[in-house]
Amino acid sequence: MAAAGVVSGKIIYEQEGVYIHSSCGKTNDQDSLISGILRVLEKDAEVIVDWRPLDDALDSSSILYARKDSSSVVEWTQAPKERGHRGSEHLNSYEAEWDMVNTVSFKRKPHTNGDAPSHRNEKSKWSFLFSLTDLKSIKQNKEGMGWSYLVFCLKDDVVLPALHFHQGDSKLLIESLEKYVVLCESPQDKRTFLVNCQNKSLSQSFENLLDEPAYGLIQKIKKDPYTATMIGFSKVTNYIFDSLRGSDPSTHHRPPSEMADFLSDAIPGLKINQQEEPGFEVITRIDLGERPIVQRREPVSLEEWTKNIDSEGRILNVDNMKQMIFRGGLSHALRKQAWKFLLGYFPWDSTKEERTQLQKQKTDEYFRMKLQWKSVSQEQEKRNSRLRDYRSLIEKDVNRTDRTNKFYEGQDNPGLILLHDILMTYCMYDFDLGYVQGMSDLLSPLLYVMENEVDAFWCFASYMDQMHQNFEEQMQGMKTQLIQLSTLLRLLDSGFCSYLESQDSGYLYFCFRWLLIRFKREFSFLDILRLWEVMWTELPCKNFHLLLCCAILESEKQQIMEKHYGFNEILKHINELSMKIDVEDILCKAEAISLQMVKCKELPQAVCEILGLQDSDVTTPDSDVDEEENVGMTPFPTSAFQSNALPTLAASGVRGDSPTQTSASSDGCRLTPA
């Protein structure tokens, strides 16, 4: 078996005696049978299928381009042209000493997938390799035809030569590929497997649900609720019920409530029973008052930002600056600078000189952590299963994060390598948490804005301080947020909450992805930049992101209730909102809800705690009249989030003594956590 010069990477499958019949069966000439080696390799988060004639098995340099060797401290060498472009400024900077760890060089592939590279040997014209992400389908031979063969068809409709297995069948190859892709039998042709590749962009995989057996889905939900929820709920149709029920026809008429119970049981720690949770208080019906209309301003300009900086570089009037950012966001030219303050990487009261020193210190700290994992040899990694698992998961996720964005698209993209390196370094920074799927989504916009590895890392570390509980194994952060969201939604519209509960959707699982990665998959990439910077101001109240959820649900309430959506349809409808939500409209609605609650004189203590409101904010709502006039608010008579009047409940479940109010306000009653 030829081994020298083989394409570098981990060999998953290797088989000699795999032939191409170049004459297509028209002649029995032995020269028409080209013997070769077929390999499947893992290399840098990519799975490659490679076939070449035996004569060429010793030379792969012209086919596969150089990529990083994860076992080496010095992974890359900087190309001369690249070094020249960086100039003397870089050589004198504090980053220069870290070049041995940080420099990156890229080489183009000499050919595209499916094309035959040029070799001296005539047989070489049949050589091919392709990434598994480019595979569309696999066609098998008919039974009883002698040698088994497979035909690969790529997504650009390139059909590769049939591979004939003279020394064994093709089952082992299929089994190897199924570790990385889901193969489904084509409904039109039982000999053809259609490929649903798991290494696609994550944005696509959110839409390509459940093309796998019921058992696999159930095990995924139990083993990894994050991934199962983020991916599994993306395209919820009646198939979700069929999948969960299994193939037994006698079970096909189980009620949706049973499926909802299964989901709540399968995701441990997320089952919410308000009546059984300790420390709940009774929220009686209250009048939330008129909902104001809020107008937003233009993004903060570079001129406005500069006017608020003193001679030493300190930001003046920080509270006013945060208000301006909350009202309108930032112009893109400002983001690279302002986000460092919003995320806590730079102190608001720091001078320019202090920030320069801080960056130098943080650069040293970052590269020391980066060196820790880059200096781990392959032998060491074999005995470190956690690091090995982190690396594998990161490589898979990076390869499918925001690949439609120009900053991350294409092969040999420096953005992808920096995503990988920052996430690996974060595992050294917080080894207890390490890497959990979804974290690459939080990093991607930060790196896009910062365009700097070190700054992106420390901004990401600060963001993860806020988001840490979302990714912890016990999922306490997610449970708490779902309970809090339920509390707010019940106060705003008890009728809608009752409807959701009647459809076994009261646990609000359809909001899971919103909360987990802060709406990253619900808005366009540029809208997420705006949304996140507004939320980072921590205005106008604590947990503003929960009011954003309420605002989105308010916008969809009418359609959900009027069309009598059930459990399945609600999940499907909410997921299909992705990329269709107007960010400015939702920000206005969420702020209006917050102002409506602040002005309420009888806001329940549980809600005050969720939103971080002081008693004075609630009991003296008219104290900020001048402020309200400054933000362009005008009242309108009725809230879009109304419900029919319901009797008020006491803790025992009997009618309370409070009179029912039927004003144009939102109302609610429930047992909620104190």
pLDDT at 567: 92
Q: Say how many C-beta atoms besides its own lie within 10 A of residue 354's C-beta.
A: 15
Question: Is pTM, for the whole model, over 0.85?
Answer: no
Cα separation, 523 vs 582, whole angstroms: 8
Q: Which helix (H) or strand (E) holds 437?
A: none
pLDDT the model gives residue 367: 97
506 is written with which tokens? 């009261």
DSSP H helical segments within 451-540, as ranges?
453-467, 476-492, 494-502, 512-516, 525-536
Whole-number Å distance between alpha carbons of 658 and 287: 12
Domain with CATH 2.30.29.230 in the chain: 10-21+33-54+125-196
pLDDT in tens, 586-637: 999 999 999 999 999 889 999 999 999 875 343 333 334 344 444 444 343 3
What pLDDT shows up at residue 87? 45
The token duo for 370 is 């980066």
Exposed/middle/buried for 587, CB within 10 Å: 0-12, 13-18, 19+? Answer: buried
| Dihedral-angle region of residue 566 (phi above 0 means left; psi in -120 to 50 means alpha; beta otherwise) | beta
Query: What is the CA angle 231-515-214, rounded to 5?
Result: 25
Q: Which residues of the chain have pLDDT under 50?
A: 1-6, 24-31, 56-97, 99-121, 197-222, 231-263, 265-269, 273-282, 616-674
Residue 102 is predicted with a pLDDT of 45
CA 316-322-325 angle, 5° bins: 120
Q: Which CATH number fits domain 476-611: 1.20.1260.10, 3.40.50.720, 1.10.472.80, 3.30.470.20?
A: 1.10.472.80
Q: pLDDT value at position 662?
A: 32
Q: Where in the chain are all domains bearing CATH 1.10.472.80?
A: 476-611
What is the signed CA dihedral for 245, 574, 577, 456, rounded to 10 degrees? Answer: -90
Class level of CATH domain 10-21+33-54+125-196: mainly beta
Q: Could you give the C-alpha distances from 443 to 173, 205, 375, 501, in angstroms and in order?
A: 36, 19, 24, 35
Q: Which part of the chain is CATH 1.10.8.270?
A: 330-469
- Taking the C-alpha atoms of residue 583 and residue 638, their distance in angstroms, rounded to an integer, is 23
- Answer yes or no: are the C-beta atoms of 667 and 285 closer than 8 Å: yes
Q: Which CATH number fits domain 330-469: 1.10.1240.10, 1.10.10.10, 1.10.730.10, 1.10.8.270?
A: 1.10.8.270
Q: Are 506 and 485 in contact (CB under 8 A)?
A: no
Residues 6+ apart with CB under 8 A from 211: 182, 184, 196
